[in-house]
Structure 1
Amino acid sequence: MRARRLRRLCTVFTVAVTAAATALTGAAPAAANGAPYVGNQYDYGGVRTPIDGDIPTVDSIADSITGSTDATLADVANHRASLPYGDITPGSGPALSLYPGPTGIPASDQYSVQVNDQPSFVYKSVAAKHDTNRELDTSWTSFSFTGSVTVQVTALAGSGLTGCLIRPYSAAITTTFAGNTCTFTMSQPRNVSVEFQPNIHNPIQHPMLVFANPAENDVPPATGDPNVLYFGPGVHQIGSGNVLHSNETIYLAGGAWVQGAFIANGPVDNVTIKGRGVLDGSFLDTGNQDSNKNQPGMIDIADQSSQNLLVEGITLVNAPRFNVRALAQYTTIENVKTMSWWYSTDGMVAGNKALVENNFVKSNDDSIKLFWGDEVVRGNTVWQLENGAPFMISWNLEGDPSNFHVYDDDVIHAEHYQIEKSAVFRALHAGAGTPNRYLFENVRVENATWRLFYLTVENNKWYDPTLGYGELDQLIFRNIHAYTNYTHPNVVQGIDGTHKVRDVNFVNVFTDNRCIGNAEDFTIDPATTNAIRIVKSADGSCWT
C-alpha cells in the first residue's frame, strides 16, 4: 500500500530542488516549539524544497492565532460571569452524587455500575437508527464527585470476556478485571468509554460510557426565581415548542429525563441551560432520514446576533438532527454529552467567540463543526460514527471564519468504513469564503483506520458553482498522535490554480507507527496547492 502511494506521488510531483537533507546526528534537544525540524515543503507547480531548521512562518501564525483566541477566552469568561447561575468552576461537594433512574425509563440490560459500592443507574439509548449503523445501542451512567471514586462496571450480557480498558488512553486509568467486572479509580472528572476485551475495536455493538462529572456549582433554586425553569428528577414531556427567552435559566437536575427541545425565535441574550439531567429528542424522530432533516435542533439558537449563552453538564440523546446549534456570540459549551444515530445528526456547533470544552460527542454526522471563528475547542472526547467528521473545518462556507485553537482533544473511535471522503480532520469546502487560521495541537486519535486528513476545495451537489469558490488558508496540525494505521492516503487538494489549499502545515504528526516528514502518505495536487509543509523534529522527539 505504502509503496503504491509513493510511486503515485512521484508521478505527481516534479522535484525542482533535489538537494538532500543533511543527515542529522547528535542533534541538540528540540526547542519548546519542536525546532529544529526536518522535512519538506511542496509548492504550486510541484516544487519540493527540503526543510532543515526552524519554520518561523508557522510559529508566527500559531502565535498569532493563540494570541487572538486567548483574548477570546477572556471575553467569553467576562460575559459568562454576568450570567445568573453561570459559574462553571467545579463545586466543593458532596463527595459523591448519584442520581435516580427516572420512573418508566428502563435500566440497561447490558451493564450495571457501582460507584463506591453504591449502584449508579445505567441508561440505554434506543436502538440504532440508520441502516449503515453497525452498533446496536449505547449504555451510560452519570454521577458527580470530588476527590476520588472507585467504579465497577459489570457486563451483564458479555461472554468470553478477557479484560477491559478505558478510553481515552490519555486518561491513564488503570483497570482490573474479574468475573465480567471492570474496576478502576477516577481522581478527576472525565467522560470515558469502558471497553471489554476482545470487543475493543470498531464496531463495538454495545458501548458503555461513564460520565464522571465535577460536583455541581451555582445551582439555581427549584422555586422562587421567575427566570428559572427547573426540571427535577423524573420524566417530563414538554415537546418541541419551547421558546428560549433572554435572561432565562433552564435547569435539568440529575435524574431528570426531559422529552423536549428548546429553540430561539430570533436573538436571545444571557441564557443558561445546565444540570446533570437528560434531554431526549426521540419524540421528534419521524423514523425517516430525509424527514428528520427538517426537524429543529434540541438546543437551537440560529440568530448570530444572540449573545452570552452557557450550556453545561447535561446529556442529550436521540436527536434526529442537531444536538446543540448555539450560534450566539460569547458561547460556552462545557461538559455536555451527546449521543445520536441518524446519518445527518450533528453534535455541536458554536457561534463566533466561543469556548467548547470538556464535552463528549458521539454522532453520525459531524461531531464538532468549526465554522464561525474566534473559538477554542479543548479537552473534548469524540466517538465518531460512520458518516461525518470528528472535526469538520468547512462545508460550503460563504464567510471567512478565522482563529480556531483546537487542542488537547481525544478521538477515541472513528467508525468510517464506506464513505470515500471520510477523515478525522475534514474540509469539503465548496463555498465562496476562505476559512483560515486553524491551529490543531496535541490531538490524540485512537481506533480510526480510514483516513486522518481530507482537506479540499471541491464542488458538491449542495452548492451552486456560479456563486464562486474560495480557498483554505493557514492550517496547522501540530503534535497529532494517531495510534493506528490508515488504509487511505491523506488528501490536500484545491479546485483550480486560483482557488487553492495553501499554507497547510503538518508538524510532528505521528501516524502509521512513525513521525512523518514527507508526502509518502499524502496525495497533494501540485496544480491546486501551495506551501504544504510536512516536518518533524530533527532530534526524533516527535510527539509520542
Structure 2
Amino acid sequence: MRRTHRTHRTHRTHRALLAGVVAAALAVTGALFAPTAASADGAPYTGNQYDFGGAVTPINGDISTVDSIANSITASTQATEADVAAHRATLPYGDITPGAGPALSLYPGPAGVPASDQYSVAVNGQPSFVYKSLARKTDTNRELDTSWTSFSFAGSVTVSVTALGQSGLTGCMVRPFSAAIATTFANNTCTFTMSQAKNVSVEFDPNIHNPIPHPMLVFANPPENDVPPATGDPNVLYFGPGVHAIGSGIVLHSNETVYLAGGAYVQGAFIANGPVDNVTIKGRGVLDGLFMDTGNQDANKNQPGMIDIADQSSSNVLIEGITLVNAPRFNVRALAQYTTIENVKTMSWWYSTDGLVAGNKALVENNFVKSNDDSIKLFWGDEVVRGNTVWQLENGAPFMISWNLEQDSNTFHVYDDDVIHAEHYQIQKSAIFRALHAGAGTPNRYLFENIRVENANWRLFYLTIDNNKWYDPTLGYGELDQLIFRDIHAYTNFTYPNVIQGIDGTHKVRDVNFINVFTNNACQSDASDFDIDPATTNAVRIVKSADGSCWT
C-alpha cells in the first residue's frame, strides 16, 4: 500500500555499529580478483506479494518463476562473459590475468605533482607516493580532498598509512568489510597486511562515517601482464613516468593500444570520433582532467569525457588498471560491444561526473568508483558487473538502472559488489539502487545479488517511472520489468522508505523481487519499509528464506 512520509529513524550508536560490522567483516570472504559465485536459490520463502489495485497475497513456499528468471539471466550473462573474453583474447595486449611479479612494484611521484600533506604510506617499509585531489564542487562537497596511493604486488605486503598532523585519532579500519583486513594502530599509523589485490579505503576512528574530510585510498593492484613495449610498435601510444600534458584532443584509432606506465601523470582525454575496434587503454598511471575543469557546474557539461567511445557500433575495447581523477564530465563511457572495464579507479567531484558505463555485452569488474553522479550505469544490456567498490558522493546512485532509456535494455547480472559510502543528504530521490525511468523503453531482466552496503543512511531503493524536465512525454513511456534483488545486506539504517512507483496504470513497475534483503536491522518480508503505489505497480514480492538463512 502507498505509505506516507516517515520521520527519521533512530540510528545505532557509533560503537555498536562498528562492533557489528567488524564481526560481519570477519565472517565474509571475498577476493576482488576472484569474485564469488552467485547465490543459489533459497526456497522456501515467507513474505508477501503486492499486486496492482492493492491486493496483498502471502507467500509461503517457493517462487520458482523468479528463480527461473534469475537462472536464465545468469546463464545468459555467463555466455556473454565468454564472448567478451574471446574478443579480448584477440587484442595484442589484452590479457587481464595477473602477471607473475615482481613481488612489489612502487611507482615514482611525477615531478611537479605535490605529494599529499594528509598522509604518507610505506609498503614493506618502502615509501609509496601519495597523491591528493582537492574537492571541486565546494558548494555541496562535504569532503575537502581525497588522497591515494597505488602499487602492484604478488604474494603479500605490509602497508602502513600515517595520518599527518591529525589529532585525536584512536584507531583505524579498512573498507570494504568483505576484504576482512585486520589492522593495528599506533602513533597515528594504521598497519595491515594484504595478500590479495584490492582497492580499499583506510579510515581513522573517529572519522569513519560520512562525511570524512580527508579520505585515504589504497589501490593495491595485481602485477601487470601483457605490457606493451615503450618503442617499436607503431600501434602503441606509450606514456612513461612523469607529467604529460597532451590536452583533450587525442583521437582513438582502431587497433591501437594506449599505455600509461606507473608514475605517468597524463593531463588529457581520449576520444573516438566515430566507431573504433580493438582498442586497449591500460597501465598503472594516472589520467587527470583538471586542466579541463572550468570550476562551474553548467560550463563543465560542455567539456569532453575523459575516455569517450560513444559509437555503439564500436567493438572490442579494454580499459584496465589506470586511475582517473578530476574529471569535469564523465570518466569512462565505452559503449562498444564486447567491452571490458577492469580494475579502473575513478575520483571526481561534479554532479556531471558519471563513473563507468559500458556498451552492450560487457564485463565491468574489480573497479573502484568515487563519483558525484551515477557511479555505474546499467543501460545497455548483456552485462556482468562484479567485484566493484563504490564510494558515492552526494548526487547520483551507485547503481543507476535507468534514466530516460528509450530502448528495451535487458539482462544484467550485478553481484559481489560493495558500496562503502553513500553521502546522500539532500536530494530526495537519492538511493543506492535507483531508476528514474521516463523513457519509452522497458528495461528488464536485472539480477542483483550479494551486494553489501556499509556507510549509507538515506535510502536503499528508489525504482520509479518518473517524468522529468529532460524527457519529452509525447514520446511515450515504457515500464520497468523483472528486477531481482537477492541477498542485499545493508549494515546501516535508512532515513527514507524504499519507493516503488510507476507513472500510471498502463506504465507500471512490475515483477520486482526483494529476496533476503537485510536492512534497518531486519530481513524484509513485508512492505513496512516500502512505499509501494498500488495504482502503478504489480507483482512486487518481498520475501525472506523461511529457514532463517537471510543475513542477520
Q: How far, CA to CA, are the matches of 1:80 and 1:130 in structure 2? A: 40
The correspondence for 2:189, drawn from 176, 181, 193, is 181
**Amino acid aligned to 1:99:** Y
The correspondence for 1:342, drawn from 350, 364, 368, is 350
2:135/2:141 contact within 8 Å kept = no
The correspondence for 1:456, drawn from 464, 481, 486, is 464
Report the alpha carbon displacement of residue 129 of structure 1 after superposing the two structures with TM.
Answer: 2.4
**1:401 alignment partner in structure 2:** 409
Instruction: Determine if the alignment matches structure 1 residue 52 to structure 2 residue 60.
Output: yes
When the two structures are superposed, what TM-score results if normalisation uses the length of structure 2? 0.93
The correspondence for 2:497, drawn from 483, 489, 503, is 489
Q: How far, CA to CA, are the matches of 1:540 and 1:285 in structure 2? A: 51
Give a deviation string over 1:74-116, Cα, whole Å, max 9, x none. Answer: 0000000000110000000000000000000000000000000
Q: How far, CA to CA, are the matches of 1:366 and 1:5 in structure 2? A: 25
**1:28 alignment partner in structure 2:** none
Report the alpha carbon displacement of residue 127 of structure 1 after superposing the two structures with TM.
Answer: 3.2
2:106/2:150 contact within 8 Å kept = yes
Q: How far, CA to CA, are the matches of 2:350 and 2:319 in structure 1? A: 23
**2:146 alignment partner in structure 1:** 138
Instruction: Determine if the alignment matches structure 1 residue 414 to structure 2 residue 422.
Output: yes
Report the alpha carbon displacement of residue 543 of structure 1 after superposing the two structures with TM.
Answer: 2.6
2:512/2:539 contact within 8 Å kept = yes
SS at match of 2:441: coil
**2:198 alignment partner in structure 1:** 190
Q: How far, CA to CA, are the matches of 1:195 and 1:32 in structure 2? A: 34
Report the alpha carbon displacement of residue 234 of structure 1 after superposing the two structures with TM.
Answer: 0.2
Report the alpha carbon displacement of residue 287 of structure 1 after superposing the two structures with TM.
Answer: 1.2
Q: How far, CA to CA, are the matches of 1:502 and 1:131 in structure 2? A: 38
Report the alpha carbon displacement of residue 541 of structure 1 after superposing the two structures with TM.
Answer: 1.0
Report the alpha carbon displacement of residue 478 of structure 1 after superposing the two structures with TM.
Answer: 0.1
How many aligned residue pairs are there? Answer: 519
**2:451 alignment partner in structure 1:** 443
Q: How does 1:197-346 map to 2 (within 5 A)?
A: 197-346=205-354
Q: How does 1:355-370 map to 2 (within 5 A)?
A: 355-370=363-378
SS at match of 2:514: strand
Q: How far, CA to CA, are the matches of 2:126 and 2:369 in structure 1? A: 27
Report the alpha carbon displacement of residue 157 of structure 1 after superposing the two structures with TM.
Answer: 2.3
**Amino acid aligned to 1:56:** S
2:6/2:497 contact within 8 Å kept = no
2:200/2:219 contact within 8 Å kept = yes
**Amino acid aligned to 2:391:** W
**1:22 alignment partner in structure 2:** none
Report the alpha carbon displacement of residue 32 of structure 1 after superposing the two structures with TM.
Answer: 4.1
Report the alpha carbon displacement of residue 5 of structure 1 after superposing the two structures with TM.
Answer: 6.6
Q: How does 1:81-100 map to 2 (within 5 A)?
A: 81-100=89-108
Q: How far, CA to CA, are the matches of 1:171 and 1:384 in structure 2? A: 19
SS at match of 1:398: coil
SS at match of 2:455: coil
**2:112 alignment partner in structure 1:** 104
Report the alpha carbon displacement of residue 126 of structure 1 after superposing the two structures with TM.
Answer: 2.6
How has the CA–CA distance of structure 1 residues 5 and 49 changed in structure 2, closer, same or farther, with 3 Å as cutoff? farther
1:301/1:328 contact within 8 Å kept = yes
Q: How far, CA to CA, are the matches of 2:207 and 2:466 in structure 1? A: 38
Q: How far, CA to CA, are the matches of 1:172 and 1:513 in structure 2? A: 21
Structure 2 unaligned runs (5+)? 8-38
**1:430 alignment partner in structure 2:** 438
Q: How far, CA to CA, are the matches of 2:316 and 2:299 in structure 1? A: 32
Give a deviation string over 1:381-428, Cα, whole Å, max 9, x none. Answer: 000000000000000000000000000000000000000000000000
Give a deviation string over 1:470-522, Cα, whole Å, max 9, x none. Answer: 00000000000000000000000000000000000000000011101000000
SS at match of 1:138: strand
How has the CA–CA distance of structure 1 residues 513 and 264 changed in structure 2, closer, same or farther, with 3 Å as cutoff? same
1:130/1:342 contact within 8 Å kept = no
Report the alpha carbon displacement of residue 344 of structure 1 after superposing the two structures with TM.
Answer: 1.4
Give a deviation string over 1:5-62, Cα, whole Å, max 9, x none. Answer: 799xxxxxxxxxxxxxxxxxxxxxxx94111100000000000000001000110110
2:116/2:147 contact within 8 Å kept = yes
**Amino acid aligned to 2:338:** Y
1:5/1:521 contact within 8 Å kept = no
1:481/1:509 contact within 8 Å kept = yes
SS at match of 1:84: coil
1:46/1:526 contact within 8 Å kept = yes
Q: How far, CA to CA, are the matches of 1:162 and 1:42 in structure 2? A: 48
How has the CA–CA distance of structure 1 residues 174 and 529 changed in structure 2, closer, same or farther, with 3 Å as cutoff? same
2:363/2:384 contact within 8 Å kept = yes
Report the alpha carbon displacement of residue 458 of structure 1 after superposing the two structures with TM.
Answer: 1.1
Report the more deviating stretch, 128-137 or 351-360. 128-137
Q: How far, CA to CA, are the matches of 1:231 and 1:6 in structure 2? A: 54
The correspondence for 1:169, drawn from 158, 164, 177, is 177
**Amino acid aligned to 1:182:** C
What percentage of aligned pairs have identical amino acids? 86
Q: How far, CA to CA, are the matches of 1:279 and 1:130 in structure 2? A: 22
SS at match of 2:65: helix
**1:21 alignment partner in structure 2:** none
